[in-house]
Amino acid sequence: METGGELAMAVEGTEARAERFRRFVEHHRERAVRLAWRLTGGGRAVAEDVTQEALVAAFRALPRFRDEARLETWFYRILVRKAHSYLRWRRVREVWREAARREPPPPESAPSPELRQRIAAALAALPRSQRECFLLVHGEGFTVREAAAILGKAEGTVKSHLHRALTALRRDLDDLRSVAEGGP
Protein backbone atom coordinates (compact mmCIF):
# COMPACT_ATOMS: atom_id res chain seq x y z
CA MET A 1 0.00 0.00 0.00
CA GLU A 2 1.32 3.41 -0.95
CA THR A 3 1.91 6.03 1.69
CA GLY A 4 0.80 9.63 1.21
CA GLY A 5 4.38 10.62 0.40
CA GLU A 6 4.79 7.93 -2.25
CA LEU A 7 1.50 8.92 -3.84
CA ALA A 8 2.50 12.60 -3.86
CA MET A 9 5.82 11.70 -5.53
CA ALA A 10 3.98 9.63 -8.15
CA VAL A 11 1.57 12.51 -8.86
CA GLU A 12 4.45 14.99 -9.08
CA GLY A 13 6.26 12.63 -11.44
CA THR A 14 3.16 12.32 -13.60
CA GLU A 15 2.66 16.09 -13.65
CA ALA A 16 6.31 16.62 -14.56
CA ARG A 17 6.00 14.10 -17.38
CA ALA A 18 2.83 15.75 -18.63
CA GLU A 19 4.56 19.14 -18.65
CA ARG A 20 7.56 17.66 -20.45
CA PHE A 21 5.19 16.13 -23.01
CA ARG A 22 3.39 19.46 -23.49
CA ARG A 23 6.72 21.16 -24.26
CA PHE A 24 7.61 18.28 -26.58
CA VAL A 25 4.34 18.74 -28.49
CA GLU A 26 4.95 22.49 -28.87
CA HIS A 27 8.41 21.83 -30.24
CA HIS A 28 7.71 18.78 -32.45
CA ARG A 29 4.11 19.07 -33.66
CA GLU A 30 4.85 20.58 -37.08
CA ARG A 31 7.66 18.11 -37.71
CA ALA A 32 5.30 15.27 -36.79
CA VAL A 33 2.64 16.60 -39.19
CA ARG A 34 5.23 16.79 -42.00
CA LEU A 35 6.32 13.22 -41.35
CA ALA A 36 2.72 11.98 -41.21
CA TRP A 37 2.02 13.80 -44.48
CA ARG A 38 4.95 12.08 -46.16
CA LEU A 39 4.06 8.68 -44.72
CA THR A 40 0.38 8.79 -45.68
CA GLY A 41 0.42 10.91 -48.84
CA GLY A 42 -3.03 12.01 -47.78
CA GLY A 43 -2.69 15.78 -47.55
CA ARG A 44 -2.50 18.18 -44.65
CA ALA A 45 -5.85 17.27 -43.06
CA VAL A 46 -5.02 13.55 -43.00
CA ALA A 47 -1.54 14.28 -41.64
CA GLU A 48 -2.99 16.41 -38.85
CA ASP A 49 -5.53 13.71 -37.99
CA VAL A 50 -2.86 11.00 -37.86
CA THR A 51 -0.60 13.26 -35.78
CA GLN A 52 -3.44 14.03 -33.38
CA GLU A 53 -4.20 10.31 -32.99
CA ALA A 54 -0.52 9.67 -32.26
CA LEU A 55 -0.37 12.50 -29.72
CA VAL A 56 -3.47 11.24 -27.92
CA ALA A 57 -2.14 7.67 -27.90
CA ALA A 58 1.23 8.88 -26.61
CA PHE A 59 -0.36 11.00 -23.89
CA ARG A 60 -2.48 8.07 -22.73
CA ALA A 61 0.59 5.82 -22.69
CA LEU A 62 2.75 8.42 -20.93
CA PRO A 63 2.51 6.69 -17.52
CA ARG A 64 4.10 3.61 -19.11
CA PHE A 65 6.90 5.57 -20.78
CA ARG A 66 10.30 4.50 -19.50
CA ASP A 67 12.73 7.36 -19.06
CA GLU A 68 15.63 5.32 -20.41
CA ALA A 69 14.13 5.75 -23.91
CA ARG A 70 14.12 9.11 -25.68
CA LEU A 71 10.68 10.71 -25.70
CA GLU A 72 11.21 11.73 -29.32
CA THR A 73 12.01 8.19 -30.51
CA TRP A 74 9.13 6.75 -28.52
CA PHE A 75 6.63 9.25 -29.94
CA TYR A 76 7.72 8.88 -33.57
CA ARG A 77 7.36 5.11 -33.31
CA ILE A 78 3.75 5.69 -32.24
CA LEU A 79 3.29 8.14 -35.13
CA VAL A 80 4.61 5.64 -37.68
CA ARG A 81 2.27 2.95 -36.33
CA LYS A 82 -0.70 5.32 -36.60
CA ALA A 83 0.30 6.16 -40.19
CA HIS A 84 0.48 2.44 -41.02
CA SER A 85 -2.95 1.92 -39.48
CA TYR A 86 -4.33 4.75 -41.59
CA LEU A 87 -2.81 3.26 -44.77
CA ARG A 88 -4.30 -0.17 -44.01
CA TRP A 89 -7.68 1.40 -43.39
CA ARG A 90 -7.44 3.41 -46.62
CA ARG A 91 -6.54 0.31 -48.68
CA VAL A 92 -9.49 -1.63 -47.34
CA ARG A 93 -11.83 1.34 -47.87
CA GLU A 94 -10.66 1.71 -51.48
CA VAL A 95 -11.26 -1.99 -52.15
CA TRP A 96 -14.81 -1.77 -50.86
CA ARG A 97 -15.47 1.45 -52.80
CA GLU A 98 -14.24 -0.23 -55.98
CA ALA A 99 -16.39 -3.25 -55.25
CA ALA A 100 -19.43 -1.01 -54.81
CA ARG A 101 -18.77 0.63 -58.21
CA ARG A 102 -18.66 -2.66 -60.07
CA GLU A 103 -21.82 -3.69 -61.83
CA PRO A 104 -23.97 -6.32 -60.15
CA PRO A 105 -24.49 -9.62 -61.98
CA PRO A 106 -27.36 -9.70 -64.46
CA PRO A 107 -30.70 -10.63 -62.84
CA GLU A 108 -31.08 -13.91 -64.76
CA SER A 109 -27.89 -15.25 -63.17
CA ALA A 110 -28.88 -14.19 -59.67
CA PRO A 111 -29.40 -17.10 -57.27
CA SER A 112 -32.68 -17.53 -55.44
CA PRO A 113 -33.11 -15.70 -52.13
CA GLU A 114 -32.82 -18.99 -50.24
CA LEU A 115 -29.56 -19.85 -52.00
CA ARG A 116 -28.16 -16.37 -51.36
CA GLN A 117 -29.08 -16.73 -47.69
CA ARG A 118 -27.31 -20.11 -47.40
CA ILE A 119 -24.19 -18.77 -49.10
CA ALA A 120 -24.19 -15.64 -46.92
CA ALA A 121 -24.53 -17.78 -43.79
CA ALA A 122 -21.66 -20.04 -44.90
CA LEU A 123 -19.47 -17.00 -45.59
CA ALA A 124 -20.39 -15.43 -42.26
CA ALA A 125 -19.35 -18.63 -40.48
CA LEU A 126 -15.80 -18.32 -41.84
CA PRO A 127 -13.13 -16.66 -39.69
CA ARG A 128 -12.67 -12.99 -40.68
CA SER A 129 -9.26 -13.50 -42.33
CA GLN A 130 -10.53 -16.39 -44.47
CA ARG A 131 -13.67 -14.49 -45.42
CA GLU A 132 -11.68 -11.38 -46.43
CA CYS A 133 -9.31 -13.43 -48.61
CA PHE A 134 -12.17 -15.36 -50.22
CA LEU A 135 -14.22 -12.24 -50.98
CA LEU A 136 -11.27 -10.34 -52.44
CA VAL A 137 -10.08 -13.17 -54.70
CA HIS A 138 -13.25 -15.05 -55.59
CA GLY A 139 -15.83 -12.34 -55.02
CA GLU A 140 -14.05 -9.31 -56.43
CA GLY A 141 -11.56 -10.90 -58.82
CA PHE A 142 -8.33 -9.66 -57.25
CA THR A 143 -5.24 -11.79 -57.72
CA VAL A 144 -3.67 -13.49 -54.71
CA ARG A 145 -0.82 -10.99 -54.93
CA GLU A 146 -3.25 -8.04 -54.95
CA ALA A 147 -5.23 -9.48 -52.05
CA ALA A 148 -2.00 -9.99 -50.09
CA ALA A 149 -1.02 -6.35 -50.68
CA ILE A 150 -4.47 -5.08 -49.72
CA LEU A 151 -4.58 -7.10 -46.51
CA GLY A 152 -0.92 -6.63 -45.63
CA LYS A 153 -0.31 -10.39 -45.55
CA ALA A 154 2.15 -12.71 -47.28
CA GLU A 155 0.93 -14.40 -50.47
CA GLY A 156 1.36 -17.81 -48.85
CA THR A 157 -0.87 -16.73 -45.97
CA VAL A 158 -3.57 -15.59 -48.40
CA LYS A 159 -3.33 -18.91 -50.29
CA SER A 160 -3.64 -20.82 -47.02
CA HIS A 161 -6.68 -18.78 -45.96
CA LEU A 162 -8.25 -19.33 -49.40
CA HIS A 163 -7.72 -23.08 -49.19
CA ARG A 164 -9.25 -23.26 -45.73
CA ALA A 165 -12.18 -21.07 -46.79
CA LEU A 166 -12.89 -23.19 -49.86
CA THR A 167 -12.69 -26.40 -47.82
CA ALA A 168 -15.15 -25.04 -45.27
CA LEU A 169 -17.52 -23.69 -47.93
CA ARG A 170 -17.49 -26.98 -49.84
CA ARG A 171 -18.27 -28.83 -46.62
CA ASP A 172 -21.04 -26.43 -45.58
CA LEU A 173 -22.62 -26.17 -49.04
CA ASP A 174 -22.03 -29.72 -50.32
CA ASP A 175 -25.74 -30.53 -50.47
CA LEU A 176 -26.25 -27.62 -52.89
CA ARG A 177 -23.75 -29.07 -55.35
CA SER A 178 -25.79 -32.24 -55.86
CA VAL A 179 -28.96 -30.15 -56.40
CA ALA A 180 -27.17 -27.93 -58.94
CA GLU A 181 -25.88 -31.00 -60.80
CA GLY A 182 -29.40 -32.42 -61.06
CA GLY A 183 -29.04 -34.94 -58.27
CA PRO A 184 -31.60 -35.82 -55.59
Q: Whole-angstrom Cα distance, residue 88 to residue 67?
A: 31
Find the Cα–Cα–Cα–Cα dihedral 80, 148, 165, 161, rounded to 10°: -70
Which pTM was predicted? 0.48
Residues 120-136 have pLDDT tens digits of: 888 888 998 898 888 88
Statement to judge: residues 21 and 90 lie in one domain: yes
Residue 182 makes CB contacts below 8 A (sequence gap 6+) with: none
Statement to judge: residues 37 and 93 lie in one domain: yes
Domain that holds residue 50: 4-101
Q: Note the residue count of the chain.
A: 184
Residues 104-118 have pLDDT tens digits of: 655 566 667 888 788
Statement to judge: residues 111 and 85 lie in one domain: no
The count of domains in the chain is 2
